[in-house]
Structure 1
């Protein structure tokens, strides 16, 4: 394999000296996979040297699982992705195995543009250049291909807005791929990413998704080097599999959220009738929310992700909830704790208002979770001292 790659590199090092007409360059677009890292599809560049039959794929979407502190770097956005080079046969074998469709768009480049693109890819593949800092929305396997094509073609490449384009936010675009197929991933994404992804994405910005870039390529054109022509000369389907239908599972955030919410309503009703707080349940629940809030804070301030900033899920996953833990071991409540329950009630109400006003779109499954916060903080605020006094009198 190393020998083949060395021969390949030598071949492309000499490519500017060879006839550009011998090359066919195309965009490969691959359907989404079943894992989260592959849930949004994939893009790659295929290059065929027709006289020799060499068939290679440039892939900007690879990374090294053996990188030290891989998951820490991934969470902080300090993990580098890289441009890799493989044979078309090996590339397609993976998609055949996982039954993911692959489509090809052959680009209508003139000889000079072909040579320039080959030289740019060769330059990108050099060891000092092949690594890049991945950004899901703005610098990924799809946008890298678009950007290198823009670098080569310059003002000759004209993007046209697809006629079927409709207004969508970045969050809505993500939902298209995970909302039904991966409900827990969708819940986690909505929890971790902030209000910045509720901005409307332009047709150009939507190209971070391979499906949308494929569509943009089909409407793009080249002009200024002769008669205006489409960027894509021909299209074909290389692998064709049906996308699997989303499988329903009762273990999903929507159903479990409402089961929990109804359970807490019943618990509060029973507690009111029996004059009991059941405060341990609150401590467990609020502590989980507090831990989630710490993670959100870390993603906001301790990482390089631009999409995790200004995340107002903190209104209800407030890290201060962890301060409830000491109350389990105390018999008396300081006066300021009632004020804290009131503050929690207000913050939860603000979260609902924030959502209604459209300042951040929260995941629908949080509705019962926030309602529980409102209910329990209200219940504790008005009944804590009375029920605690009753419990102490019964102990005596």
Structure 2
């Protein structure tokens, strides 16, 4: 017990000492020191939260050697109702401050590359950026409401540069780049994670299928890095590049891919569709509906529809609006499952089956006409909906439904 108290006391003293060091830097007048300011771009990791990479700002105070990183991408796991707030987009992210050594330790451990772009700023511009970050780090300013596309750890740095440098900063975006929607940009990073890709495409609506401008593409760290590389500074002498020097802090060898993983939604859903086709054929021949399958299938679709409704109407996420996956994953499918489970009113059930069939057809039209890009793996699910609703619709009277409990 005494040892634990000693350890606790030591940790508190260590934390206090570190806080005092940081406090000294943060209370220094911005014009009292010379700084080297860099953009740190970190490669994507293997976990979903790190799939898109990361961006931070490194501040090196040249005289004292203080080497710190300002990071807009942190949040507190101990926040009450963390996961509920995260899902509803009511979780606040915040600007954090740590030493460069501590910041880089994670990336070294997970073998993630880190690149540094030293900025070609005048002493006055550097001091203004430090002052901006000092102000942002004040307790009343450091928290912000995160938005994946428009207010994240990367866009915050863009905003900082534009606020501080104003008209002196010239973004020289390429004019012949390939047009990409926000969904296309996401797909570049999740194509190796098919289940994550599916989940994202199910959760995000048609609003992300619009074309992103070159400036908007810079919500991703790699694109901001490219924007910095082509940007220039004007108005205080000859036009000069924003980036004066590129450094490779970590450059790990690429790991070999694991090969084709057959446990992916494409293989699973198409195999499932083939089995359902065989089941339907057997049911037709033996005059059996196999209601147990349909009860389960339509229950799952209905629950998915409720989740889509929740994300659309009951969260602050702007990207989950206008999600036309709702046409095929419709909450009303739960009532179909309920009617199949009990002795049904066939007229109502047939009407619901016809509606489900039409909605699945509408989903295909929405997809084909480009109103929303669905994940390709849901095609077999749409075919299953159309097949089973047709089968049930035309065979409710031919087969004795009360005797078809399986």
TM-score after normalising by structure 2: 0.93
Does residue 78 (structure 1) correspond to residue 94 (structure 2)? The answer is: no
Secondary structure of the residue aligned to 1:251 is coil
Greater shift after overlay, 2-11 or 348-357? 2-11
Distance 1:178 1:52 in 2: 42
Distance 1:15 1:95 in 2: 32
CA contact (8 A) 2:336 2:349 kept: no
Question: Could you tell me how far 1:280 is from its partner in structure 2?
Answer: 1.3
CA contact (8 A) 1:15 1:118 kept: no
Does residue 312 (structure 1) correspond to residue 324 (structure 2)? The answer is: yes
Aligned equivalent of 2:305, options 289, 293, 304:
293
Aligned equivalent of 2:206, options 172, 176, 195:
195
Which residue of 1 is the match for residue 251 of structure 2? 240
Secondary structure of the residue aligned to 1:61 is strand
Question: Could you tell me how far 1:53 is from its partner in structure 2?
Answer: 1.3
Question: Could you tell me how far 1:243 is from its partner in structure 2?
Answer: 4.2
The verdict on how the C-alpha distance between 1:49 and 1:31 changes in structure 2, with shifts beyond 3 A counting, is same
1:30-49 mapped onto 2 (5 Å cutoff): 30-49=42-61
Aligned equivalent of 1:217, options 213, 223, 228:
228
Question: Could you tell me how far 1:51 is from its partner in structure 2?
Answer: 1.8
Does residue 169 (structure 1) correspond to residue 184 (structure 2)? The answer is: no
Which residue of 1 is the match for residue 379 of structure 2? 367
Secondary structure of the residue aligned to 2:332 is helix
Give me the CA root mean square deviation. Answer: 1.6
CA contact (8 A) 1:290 1:320 kept: yes
Which residue of 2 is the match for residue 11 of structure 1? 25
The verdict on how the C-alpha distance between 1:60 and 1:79 changes in structure 2, with shifts beyond 3 A counting, is same
Secondary structure of the residue aligned to 2:173 is coil
Question: Could you tell me how far 1:389 is from its partner in structure 2?
Answer: 6.7
Which residue of 1 is the match for residue 217 of structure 2? 206
Greater shift after overlay, 373-382 or 2-11? 2-11
Gaps of 5+ in 1: none
CA contact (8 A) 1:293 1:318 kept: yes
Per-residue CA deviation, residues 142-185 of structure 1 (Å, 9 max, x unaligned), is 011110111000111111113662111100111111122x1111
Does residue 57 (structure 1) correspond to residue 69 (structure 2)? The answer is: yes
CA contact (8 A) 2:301 2:331 kept: yes
Question: Could you tell me how far 1:386 is from its partner in structure 2?
Answer: 1.0
CA contact (8 A) 2:269 2:380 kept: yes
Distance 2:36 2:100 in 1: 13
CA contact (8 A) 1:162 1:216 kept: no
Distance 1:327 1:103 in 2: 59
Question: Could you tell me how far 1:331 is from its partner in structure 2?
Answer: 3.4
Which residue of 2 is the match for residue 281 of structure 1? 293
Gaps of 5+ in 2: 1-14
Does residue 322 (structure 1) correspond to residue 344 (structure 2)? The answer is: no
Secondary structure of the residue aligned to 2:400 is helix
Secondary structure of the residue aligned to 2:289 is coil
Secondary structure of the residue aligned to 2:319 is helix
Secondary structure of the residue aligned to 2:284 is helix
CA contact (8 A) 2:69 2:99 kept: yes
The verdict on how the C-alpha distance between 1:332 and 1:234 changes in structure 2, with shifts beyond 3 A counting, is closer
Distance 1:331 1:128 in 2: 61
Does residue 344 (structure 1) correspond to residue 356 (structure 2)? The answer is: yes
Does residue 88 (structure 1) correspond to residue 100 (structure 2)? The answer is: yes
